[in-house]
Amino acid sequence: MKSRTKLMVILTTLGTGISSAALAEQLECSQQTTARLGVSDVQIDVVESIAAGGEVAVGHCRLAGITGAHRGMDGNDYAIGFELRLPDDWNGRFVHQFNGGNDGAVVSAVGPLLGGDDSDTALSRGYAVVSSNAGHRGDAHPDAGLAGGARFGFDAQARRDYGYQAVATLNPLAEAMVEAYYDAPIEYSYGVGGSNGGRHAMVAASRLPDAFDGLLAGYPGFNLPKAAIQHAWDVQAFKAVTGDVRTAFSRDDLDRVARNILAQCDNLDGLTDNWVADVDACQQKYNPDWLQCSPGQTQGCLSAAQVTALKTVHRGPHNSAGEALYSDWAWDSGIGSGDWRFWKLESPIPPWGNNSLIAVMGSSSLAQLFTTPPTRVAGSPQALEAYLLAFDFDRDAPLINNSTAQFPESAMDFMTPPGAENPELADFRDAGGKLIVFHGVSDPVFSVRDTTRWYQKLDANNGANAAAFARYYRVPGMPHGAGGPAPDDFDVFSVLVDWVEHGREPGAVTASVSDANEAGQAMLGDVSRLLCPYPQVARYGSGEPHRASSFSCR
């Protein structure tokens, strides 16, 4: 375990000769207080012992409370709400659960491991787990409608807590409480999260380089303010097709695109198997123009407006000078998935006006959280879409880098890992930390191409040896986190633990299609595949083509 400063408080009283048995009895779950746990500036509101069964298969002690309470500059009350779960059969390890979206809720601290099996959690494996709301409550502004979840962007400290400070504040307190509860030091500490939680993990590697022995960052939104600009870009591009974003592409249209990508790219890895393993070769080859209707053709093809929209969206946002404002996107077969459609085009949620997720959460976040000073936007589906349609890529996009006297940190300052444009992670590397990043190639929210460039720069800045402490995996076909025509069931967390605790360097990871992934089951069936550490590609050798053992990473 790497050396790091601990806040563990020695609870034995000098000269009293308290036995360990007496101490263990003293620290029964129901008797926990901040004094017994040796922490200050913490308010514990809930202490309960939970028997095995139900949500979690292991018995544990649950603590819930707040820290860092303050009155915001917007007149609202804020605090870092948290939940700490302490298993009866503790394995000596700790997981900080980084949550997704805009945070704003204390998600149950069970420790999802991002692998496809929701029942396999850090808590069920014996880890103590902490979760937080990152310093604000998403339900604090019901009068703001659909814009309420990002209304905390009107307070500079709440912005800062969401970006990085909540983790920096809570992590040492949680570790101190764990160690006090068990009267033993934590052997290894991990941070795990996907989406915005993946961003939290990457921020921790930069800002808290000696806090975690291992970090797992899934499909990370590490350039989240830039990705929010993409939302406006998408909505404007899709609106131009039919005048209604929701009808720009039918499900059959996107299925047609997915099949066309497979037709052009599937066999580039040496096997035709409904899976594009050679991601980079596909980007070089694929041409959506082949889908465009010929003169007089109306069936089995896309209109010129649809092809233009696809090319525009995949090119990524630019200003009038041609400068890229975020990233380009990968062509991949997961474009036909329901997840891609839900994020980009339409949802089955009537209160949202059946608008897409980017037109709801993306709009309110871009306006109120990532723009400085924040812009208040009404919380109706129509107002949120109108904001994105009116977004000016010359005038409005630079505001993600803006700061003021009231908001001294820009969105790019408080949201992104320091040095993300030219990463080295020298302090994390030198402290002995290990980082694994994975990303679905069909992610419709955060571009896998952006993450790939980040890793390429990290590798270059470490003398082509970033793999000594950081590994990166791409999952073809997978959209945002799970699902799609992809083998989305894999256990990267165990790979990280083996690396941290036993020095076993990560290699190929075996993946299969999760039981919940109906699209993957329909497209791929009962297969297993290898996920390869970048830049390697899984290539077929010989043997049964539906088994991972027939492939190798090279």
Catalytic residue selected from 443, 450, 459, 488: 443
Active site (annotated) includes residue 74: no
Let me know the angle formed at the C-alpha of 407 by 401 and 412, rounded to the nearest 5 degrees.
30
- Given a contact cutoff of 8 angstroms between Cβ atoms, the answer to whether 82 and 65 are in contact is yes
Strand arrangement of the beta sheet that strand 77-87 belongs to: 42-50, 60-71, 77-87, 128-132, 93-98, 188-194, 214-218, 434-440, 470-475
Query: Which amino acid, residue 306?
Result: Q
Strand segments (E) across 294-417? none
318 is catalytic: no
* CA atoms of 238 and 234, how far apart (whole Å): 6
Pairing state of beta strands 434-440 and 214-218? parallel
Catalytic annotation, pick one of 161, 231, 480, 550: 480
- Residue 270 backbone class (left: φ over 0; alpha: ψ -120 to 50; beta: rest): left
Q: Rounded to whole angstroms, what are the CA distances from 131 to 81, 223, 295, 444?
A: 8, 22, 57, 26
Report residue 86: phi and psi, to 5°.
Answer: -120, 105
Rounded Cα gap, residues 302 and 132, in angstroms: 45
- Report d(CA 520, CA 512) in Å as an integer: 9
Catalytic residue among 124, 131, 195, 347: 195
Query: Both ends of the chain: CA-CA distance in Å?
Result: 32
* DSSP states along 421-460: TS---HHHHHTT-EEEEEEETT-SSS-HHHHHHHHHHHHH
Asked if 231 is an active-site residue, the reply is no
Of 434, 378, 371, the residue nearest 403 (C-alpha): 371
Compute the C-alpha angle 24/27/29, nearest 5°.
Answer: 125
**Any idea which residues carry the catalytic annotation?**
195, 443, 480
